Amino acid sequence: MKFDVITLFPEMFVGPLSESIIKRAREKGAIEVSCHNLRDSATDKHRTVDDTPYGGGAGMVLKVDVIDKAIAKLKNQNSKVKNKERIILMTPKGKRLDQDKVVELANNYDRLILVCGHYEGFDERIREHLIDEEISIGDFVLTGGELPAMCLIDAVSRMVPGVLSEGSAESETFMQKNQKGEYLKEYPQYTKPAEYKGWSVPEILLSGHHAKIEEWRKSKQKISK
């Protein structure tokens, strides 16, 4: 899986994507992440990426011509898998990111181009003509689309073969559903010591009876509302 991120602040991604599971996934080639500075696609000597809104109003709006150039540059680099790429605008106006969407993106695309906004917002023509869909991580506003993009990269990467140990994701929260199609949350987990400050691990988990342990775990999986 290839992630291309269009952002005004590529340095923000260095730390979060250079640690732990994501770092190892990048090192062994299971995923690839590239960040592209939006200012490199500016058309003037001042590297201007935004301007005042027509009709007046507060803040600055990201320019359609600059975003178009940035996306076109990336699409030209990837013509061989053009039918398996998705251009996503990270914005609070978008559809809420959930596990179904995460699995869909991981299973159906070889490359995701993530466009991160900043300032007041986007020229509406970007939404209308340049992107495939808008995604939000929640009903709240951040200073930019960089943190949501990191969340999406992390979530989708975990579904890419070779990133996690085999079987690690299947039993997690939001990865199983009941007969009604409702998500099940992960069952409680315990490890050594078996007793601490009078707090004991459930006896069934110490019994060695795998069938009964599995039954207990299923009984403890709560339904996500």
Return the DSSP state at 186: P
Instruction: Give pLDDT tens digits for 198-214.
Output: 999 999 999 999 999 99
**What pLDDT shows up at residue 183?**
77
- The domain limits of the chain are 2-157, 176-220
Distance CA(164)–CA(159), nearest Å, equals 8
Percentage of residues in the chain having pLDDT higher than 90: 79
pTM: 0.87
Residue 131 near residue 87, CB atoms below 8 Å: yes
Instruction: Please report the pLDDT score of residue 168 as a whole number.
Output: 55
CATH entry, 176-220, from 3.40.50.2000, 3.30.300.350, 3.40.50.2300, 1.10.1270.20: 1.10.1270.20
> Could you tell me if 173 and 224 are in contact, meaning their C-beta atoms sit under 8 angstroms apart?
yes
Does residue 216 surpass a pLDDT of 60? yes
CATH number of 2-157: 3.40.1280.10
Q: Dump pLDDT digits (tens) for 94-129.
A: 999 999 999 999 999 999 999 998 877 899 999 999
CA distances (Å), origin 98, targets 33, 103, 135, 161, 201: 21, 9, 10, 19, 32
3-state DSSP call for residue 190?
coil
